Amino acid sequence: MQDDQEFRREIRDWLAANVTDDLRGAGGAGRENEAFSRRLDFTRRLAAAGWSTLAWPVEHGGRGASLQRQVIFHEEYAKAGAPGRVDHIGITMVGPTLMQLGTDRQRERFLPGIATATELWCQGYSEPGAGSDLAAVTTRAELDGDHWVLTGQKVWTSLAHVADWCFVLARTAPIPEGASRHAGLSYLLVPMRQPGVTVRPIRQLTGDSEFNEVFFDGARTERDLVVGEPGQGWRVAMATLGFERGAATVGQQVGFQRDLDDLVALARRTGATADPAVRERLTRAWIDLTVLRAHTLRVLSAPPSAGTATVIKLLWSRWRQGLGELAMTILGPAGVASVTGDDGEADRWRRLFLFSRADTIYGGSNEIQRGILAERVLGLPRQDRR
Ligand SMILES: Cc1cc2nc3c(=O)[nH]c(=O)nc-3n(C[C@H](O)[C@H](O)[C@H](O)COP(=O)(O)OP(=O)(O)OC[C@H]3O[C@@H](n4cnc5c(N)ncnc54)[C@H](O)[C@@H]3O)c2cc1C
């Protein structure tokens, strides 16, 4: 049987042979449209070589890799500068949801397309009036014979412009008398390429458009493409969020280490290291990243305990924002020029600075996460949300 060192060599060799210069470092947060077709092609090769579904159970076509091996894979992936993948919403969110809560027919229909990155997915939860307060969604789906018919609007839908399918949280029944607003919601799998779906890109601070408004106006999906029971979609939607990160967090932190190393190099080149405040902030960034990595490895390898995964999100999001702010200090006036995409290194740091403003918003805003810690871990009285 292959040991972990051999496994590490295997993935390292595969990446060395497949991560060509035109792919290295492409894509990722804030740069999702960069070299998209080359990254899609790379993602499909990664899948064909059996790496994409490393963490999936063998019975669902994966390799059933241990957590240790998943960590090794993500570390090597990040170290090789392999490009941002385009299949993560399918692989880490909807795929595991279907394995746990879908029907056999749904698994047979969708898992192969997710595993091979031949069908890409997006997440249709947020709406103009429902973000943190997700149970307020007003998109409706009504049965018409063998189909659900959807009407409503989603917003901030990442990668909807390239997605083939969307998992949509929609209201399929009114709130029953005396029940919570979570009742009557359903989790529907909806094809994106049909006349009743309009995708409008939203221009971000970076100048790029990675997320979108999505309008459903008579969009249809088959009656069986509801995951879980109709009206019980809240539980399914929360299960999906629970799958979101996992071992990939370790790879993200390897990328953070590279960002920090590059920022130290920039500070040396520009002479910013003469400023004691810059030296202090760089050193603090290293300390905080060391603590974050240790905490993450501990959380991943221990039985789940309340709030520990939330702490990772709170720490990494603030860490990256801090790094972006420090990069702007080090760049000085070059940091405030417009984002043109043609001035190399400064453009990279400006994008990181600007995009990282979103880090404390998506995946559950930091205010909401702290509220959850306050109530569920510290046991503080529930906040009045009127
Ligand atoms: C880059 C990016 C990508 C995204 N991708 C997707 C996607 O693919 N699919 C999708 O469905 N959504 C996506 N989102 C949306 C994201 O989930 C929401 O932005 C998030 O849930 C916050 O909702 P909101 O923007 O409506 O803000 P609101 O909920 O209106 O919150 C506004 C502010 O008020 C604070 N706040 C709200 N309620 C409370 C409270 N009770 N206590 C304390 N503070 C509170 C929030 O923390 C926030 O600072 C994405 C967002 C971003 C930034």
What are the pLDDT digits (tens) for 89-137? 999 999 999 999 999 999 999 999 999 999 999 999 999 999 999 999 9
Beta strand ranges found along the chain (DSSP E): 121-124, 140-144, 147-154, 165-171, 185-191, 197-201, 212-222, 226-227
pLDDT tens figures, 315-365: 999 999 999 999 999 999 888 765 555 567 898 899 999 999 999 999 899
Q: How far is CA 38 from CA 7, 18, 196, in A?
A: 26, 12, 30
Compute the residue count for the chain.
Answer: 386
Q: What's the rounded mean pLDDT across residues 261-285?
A: 97
Query: Which range is least confidently modeled, 107-121, 216-230, 260-274, 303-317?
Result: 303-317
Query: What DSSP string describes 173-232?
Result: SPPPTT--TTTTEEEEEEESSSTTEEEEE---TTS----EEEEEEEEEEETT-EESSTTB
Q: What's the rounded mean pLDDT across residues 195-222?
A: 96
Query: Which range is least confidently modeled, 35-44, 215-224, 334-343, 354-363?
Result: 334-343
> Alpha-carbon Rg of the chain, whole angstroms?
22
pLDDT in the model for residue 28:
84
High-pLDDT (> 70) share of the chain, %: 97
134 CA to centre of ligand 1 in angstroms: 9
Give 243's pLDDT tier (boundaries 50, 70, 90).
confident
Query: What DSSP string describes 59-89?
Result: GGTS----HHHHHHHHHHHHHTTPPPPS-HI
Tell me if residue 272 falls in helix, strand or coil: helix
157 CA to centre of ligand 1 in angstroms: 12
Indicate which residue's Cα is closest to atom 25 of ligand 1.
131
More reliable by pLDDT, 307 or 112: 112
Q: What's the rounded mean pLDDT across residues 184-190?
A: 98
pLDDT surpasses 80 at 199: yes
The atom of ligand 1 lying closest to the CA of 158 is 8
Helix orientation angle between 344-355 and 248-270, rounded to the nearest 10 degrees: 130
With a 6 Å cutoff on the Cβ, whether 139 touches ligand 1 is: no
pLDDT in the model for residue 57:
97
